[in-house]
């Protein structure tokens, strides 16, 4: 229980307090079950703007250190998206230490498919999904951007027939390459800087060979293609938990591959900072451009 408390503290520390515009009106539907595994119900909250719905969805990864909890859902934090008419889907995934990053990633594929399958219920276009999050949530966002894929046409469950692809990504300080973490050859697959999160990497992180294999499997940088969706990363240059090199190398490689990727650097900022409202508005601008065709 002590570990769970520490993880929850980490998760909540990544969710800044409400903004000045916290009086934004919204309708919240809580704890919708999007999947089940090993007796665990996987849930999401739907936060809909009371004002005009623009028909687009923003999928928010509720994740810090690959730990997720319903207590980490903060609708007022989503005000910059809700104000522009986006419907926000706050996804809670299976958490470490019970589940590993590859298992958690499957939860997110399932969540995107669930939202797409039921899009009409919330008045959103299934072909215009954005995804966002910070830190581990950013990692999961970029993972879906690079690895979202078609469903299985012959799946027994109709939800699993849907695509898990997203059409735009905007996130904060995501790990992107666990095998070159801050420097070439720096292994962080449950060791080094990320040794305190070893449970998220599972038994594969016990050996150098296992870490090399797993590191490639869970690092979005190895799945970049020219076809990946437009991706925005906002990262502080004083981040000690996720070095800014992670964003720099990802954006550089994506650009070289012909993809649309951009990095916004926050001078002097560490792993999270107060006053993120302008940054969320920059993300909303990004989603406006690539989900709605509205360029500021």
pTM for the full predicted model: 0.94
Q: 12: part of which helix (H) or strand (E)?
A: helix 2-13
Residue whose entry in the numeric block shows the structure tokens 């720099």: 248
Query: Nearest 5°: phi and psi at 13?
Result: -70, -20
pLDDT of amino acid 22: 55
DSSP string for residues in 211-265: HHHHHHHH-GGGG--TTSPPEEEEEETT-SSS-THHHHHHHHHHHHTT--EEEEE
Q: What is the mean pLDDT of residues 53-69?
A: 97
pLDDT of amino acid 132: 98
pLDDT of amino acid 12: 45
The answer, yes or no, to whether residue 240 has pLDDT greater than 50, is yes
Question: Rounded CA gap, 133 and 109, in Å?
Answer: 15
Q: Is the peptide bond before 160 cis (omega within 30 degrees of 0)?
A: no
The answer, yes or no, to whether residue 19 has pLDDT greater than 50, is no
pLDDT band at 21 (very low <50, low <70, confident <90, very high): very low
Q: What is the mean pLDDT of residues 191-207?
A: 97
The answer, yes or no, to whether residue 176 has pLDDT greater than 60, is yes
Q: What is the mean pLDDT of residues 257-269?
A: 98
Work out the angle at residue 279's Cα, subtended by the Cα atoms of residues 139 and 24, and round it to the nearest 5 degrees.
Answer: 105
Question: Rounded CA gap, 128 and 116, in Å?
Answer: 10
Give the chain's domains with CATH numbers: 2-292 (3.40.50.1820)
The answer, yes or no, to whether residue 37 has pLDDT greater than 70, is yes
Question: Rounded CA gap, 64 and 59, in Å?
Answer: 16
pLDDT of amino acid 24: 78
Q: Give the residue with greater pLDDT, 227 vs 295.
A: 227
Write down how long the chain is: 296
Question: Rounded CA gap, 199 and 190, in Å?
Answer: 7
Q: What is the mean pLDDT of the chain?
A: 93
């Amino acid at each position: 229980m002590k570990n769970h408390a520490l993880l929850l503290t980490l998760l909540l520390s990544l969710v800044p307090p409400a903004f000045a515009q916290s009086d934004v009106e919204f309708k919240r539907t809580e704890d919708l079950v999007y999947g089940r595994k090993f007796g665990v119900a996987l849930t999401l909250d739907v936060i809909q703007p009371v004002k005009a719905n623009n028909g687009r969805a923003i999928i928010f990864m509720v994740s810090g250190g690959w730990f997720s909890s319903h207590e980490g859902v903060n609708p007022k934090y989503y005000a910059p998206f809700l104000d522009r008419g986006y419907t926000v889907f706050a996804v809670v995934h299976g958490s470490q230490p019970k589940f590993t990053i590859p298992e958690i990633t499957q939860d997110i594929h399932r969540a995107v498919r669930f939202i797409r399958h039921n899009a009409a219920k919330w008045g959103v276009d299934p072909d215009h999904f954005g995804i966002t999050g910070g830190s581990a949530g950013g990692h999961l966002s970029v993972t879906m951007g690079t690895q979202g894929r078609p469903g299985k046409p012959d799946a027994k469950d109709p939800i699993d027939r849907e695509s898990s692809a997203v059409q735009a990504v905007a996130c904060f300080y995501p790990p992107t390459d666990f095998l070159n973490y801050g420097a070439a050859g720096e292994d962080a697959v449950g060791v080094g800087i990320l040794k305190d999160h070893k449970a998220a990497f599972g038994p594969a992180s016990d050996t150098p060979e296992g870490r090399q294999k797993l590191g490639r499997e869970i690092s979005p940088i190895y799945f970049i293609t020219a076809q990946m969706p437009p991706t925005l990363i906002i990262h502080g240059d004083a981040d000690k938990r996720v070095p800014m090199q992670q964003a720099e190398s990802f954006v550089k490689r994506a650009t070289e591959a012909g993809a649309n990727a951009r990095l916004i650097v926050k001078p002097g900022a560490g792993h999270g900072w107060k006053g993120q409202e302008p940054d969320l508005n920059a993300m909303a601008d990004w989603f406006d451009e690539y989900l709605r065709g509205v360029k500021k």
